[in-house]
């Protein structure tokens, strides 16, 4: 017997329509690339998104075709997102931090028809134009007065194009399983692969992250997404905020500590999310200028492991709750959050911090298991670690155009490439990427745990740990450190700081001090580059 409930497709335009009907007056504030602050409402966002939809049809964009965006977090970028998805086109976010060759490959693989981009990325447009035959034009998200200088023949001004159309347009009647967004993996090995989000997956994922034990968003929230829209849907915040009627504060391109702190204070921001390097910069800025945070309630730290020093400073110095998040492009992207469970509020402080520094537990809609190399599920005891597998409503079952082949196992689980543990409370902890774990004398050493420990030293700005070849032990850990300005911390000082906090045989054999550590386009440490650079590093006796 089937139920007698309505078939109400879960599509992205319904998020915007809900915001227009029940939260039309709520603000969307943007620090615009041209300078200054612009503010309007969800009602304005809806009207302009409809004009974008009409413009796209005028440009000949058809349902199912792919259109690229290459822009920072602004209201104009959001308008394009909703306009594209509203007519059944696919919004393809291009990461401006990628190398030109990668962008050319991605653009051609996706078959982008147009690219909408910030004026600051005119160089990207000029690099793509002669090598991407599918692209009919580049639309710069600005007005005529701020159009970048370029010799591109197919460059258009966004505001001029919008002025030629009205907002009298209806959204398509869409199947919830139609493609809505396309985001490519960073391609640390081989070519980047496209993750093709559906309307259904975007809506379900946004519904998941607004829950109290995830991001905890509501109509009284003021949300500033530092994590970029070109990086896995800005962790769903550009869907989640309109869904609940939260005020949105879009930071644009300036993510410095001073710029973010100013927006937090002037706009009354209550929630924000970004990678650790952003928050370490903000904390340094506030400490140097003796500043406080008057409205901020919660910070989500993800993208890479949350340094203990960042959690402790936010919570103990500034009174801001920190939760550690984890996910992947293939997961839309949020998979877990480290909010404490009922009963944990009475735990000793050190035990709470230990738990919050784990990657956390999944909300409804994500299943997890940890298996050994033979595929046997391992106990959830917080000790046994193995390959982390996931499945759920907003997790990829394959890549665009079949790249990468079959990516699911017989039970429908996706291999994340991470090595992890699951504890009895349901919290997952990444011990390493499968390709980064250090195999020493037949045992595994977690590079992430050593990095977090090193960053806890007050004179360490950033740290990375890699395995270097060893004639006896196969591999041994090398600690690579960027000192804070004015620091003279030595190898002996660092190892003394770490001793006693991990097993002695885990301690790095050597410490290399560098001016900077290379990062991927998504802000993660480039371990492969470091392994190449230090491949001939001499083994310790």
User: Which residues are known to be catalytic?
Assistant: 185, 330, 439, 444
In angstroms and rounded to an integer, the radius of gyration of the C-alpha atoms of the chain is 24
Beta carbons within 10 angstroms of residue 108's beta carbon: 15
Distance CA 98, CA 297 (A): 33
Structure-block tokens of residue 158 = 């966004």
Q: Which of 158, 175, 226, 216 is nearest to 13 (CA)?
A: 175
Element (H, E) at 42: helix 42-58
Residue for token digits 């991001």? Answer: 215
- What residues form DSSP beta bridges with 414? 390, 408
Peptide bond into 418 cis (omega under 30): no
- Show the tokens assigned to 172: 């398509």
Q: Pairing between strand 474-483 and 460-470?
A: antiparallel
CA distance 67 to 92: 6
Do β-strands 460-470 and 510-513 pair in parallel, antiparallel, or remain unpaired? Answer: unpaired
**Secondary structure (H, E, C), 167-208:** CCCCCCCCCCCCEEEEEECCCCCCCCCEEEEEHHHHHHHHHH
Q: Phi and psi (nearest 5°) for 66? A: -105, 135
Sequence-ordered list of residues with C-beta below 8 angstroms from that of 153, at least 6 positions apart, any chain:
none
Burial class for 142, CB neighbours closer than 10 Å (0-12, 13-18, 19+): buried
Instruction: Write out the two tokens for 109.
Output: 């693989």
Label each residue of 296-364 as H, E or C: CCEEEECCCCCCHHHHHHHHHHCCCEEEEEEECHHHCCEEEECCCCCCHHHCCHHHHHHHHCCCEECCC
What letter does residue 539 receive in the DSSP assignment?
P
Residue 469, SS3 per DSSP: strand
Torsion of CA 73, 77, 83, 84, to 10 degrees: -90
Cβ distance 341 to 424 under 8 Å? no
Nearest to 138, CA basis, from 146, 129, 147, 130: 129
* Rounded Cα distance, 379 and 371, in Å: 9
The whole-angstrom separation of Cα 432 and Cα 465 is 11
Strands 155-157 and 66-70 turn out to be unpaired
Which residues sit opposite 252 in a β-bridge? 73
């Amino acid at each position: 017997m089937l139920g007698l409930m309505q078939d109400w497709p879960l599509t992205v335009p319904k998020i915007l329509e809900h915001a227009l009907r029940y939260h039309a007056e709520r603000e969307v504030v943007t620090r615009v690339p041209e300078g200054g602050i612009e503010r309007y409402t969800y009602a304005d966002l809806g009207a302009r998104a409809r004009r974008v939809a009409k413009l796209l049809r005028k440009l000949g964009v058809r349902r199912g075709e792919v259109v690229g965006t290459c822009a920072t977090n602004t209201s104009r970028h959001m308008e394009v997102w909703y306009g594209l998805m509203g007519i059944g086109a696919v919004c393809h976010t291009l990461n401006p931090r990628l190398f030109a060759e990668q962008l050319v490959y991605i653009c051609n693989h996706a078959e982008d028809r147009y690219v909408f981009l910030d004026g600051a990325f005119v160089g990207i447009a000029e690099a793509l134009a002669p090598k991407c035959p599918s692209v009919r034009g580049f639309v710069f998200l600005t007005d005529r007065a701020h159009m970048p200088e370029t010799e591109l023949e197919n460059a258009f001004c966004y505001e001029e194009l919008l002025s030629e159309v009205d907002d009298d347009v209806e959204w398509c009647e869409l199947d919830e399983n139609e493609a809505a967004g396309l985001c490519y993996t960073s391609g640390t090995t081989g070519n980047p692969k496209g993750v093709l989000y559906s309307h259904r997956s975007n809506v379900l994922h946004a519904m998941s992250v607004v829950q109290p034990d995830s991001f905890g968003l509501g109509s009284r929230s003021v949300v500033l997404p530092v994590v970029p829209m070109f990086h896995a849907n800005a962790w769903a915040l550009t869907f989640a905020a309109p869904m609940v009627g939260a005020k949105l504060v879009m930071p644009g391109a300036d993510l410095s500590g001073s710029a973010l702190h100013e927006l937090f204070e002037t706009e009354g921001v209550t929630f924000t999310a970004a990678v650790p390097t952003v928050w370490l910069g903000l904390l340094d800025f506030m400490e140097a200028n003796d500043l406080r945070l008057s409205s901020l309630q919660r910070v989500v730290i993800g993208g890479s492991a949350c340094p203990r020093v960042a959690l402790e400073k936010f919570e103990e110095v500034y009174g801001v709750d920190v939760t550690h998040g984890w996910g992947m492009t293939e997961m839309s992207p949020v998979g877990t959050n480290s909010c404490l469970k009922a009963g944990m509020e009475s735990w000793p402080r050190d035990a709470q911090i230990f738990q919050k520094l784990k990657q956390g537990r999944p909300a409804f809609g994500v299943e997890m298991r940890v298996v050994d190399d033979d595929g046997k599920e391992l106990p959830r005891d917080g000790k046994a670690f193995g390959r982390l597998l996931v499945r759920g409503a907003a997790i990829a079952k394959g890549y665009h155009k079949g790249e990468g082949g079959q990516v699911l196992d017989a039970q429908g689980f996706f291999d994340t490439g991470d090595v992890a543990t699951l504890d009895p409370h349901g919290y997952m902890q990444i011990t390493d990427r499968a390709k980064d774990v250090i195999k020493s004398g037949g045992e595994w050493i977690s590079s992430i745990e050593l990095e977090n420990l090193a960053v806890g030293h007050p004179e360490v700005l950033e740290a990375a740990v890699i395995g270097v070849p060893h004639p006896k032990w196969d591999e041994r850990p090398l600690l690579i450190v960027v000192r804070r300005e004015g620091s003279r911390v030595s190898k002996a000082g660092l190892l003394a700081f770490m001793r006693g906090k991990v097993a002695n045989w885990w301690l790095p054999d050597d410490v290399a001090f560098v001016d900077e550590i290379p990062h991927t386009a998504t802000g993660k440490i480039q371990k492969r580059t470091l392994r190449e650079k230090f491949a001939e590093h001499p083994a310790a006796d």
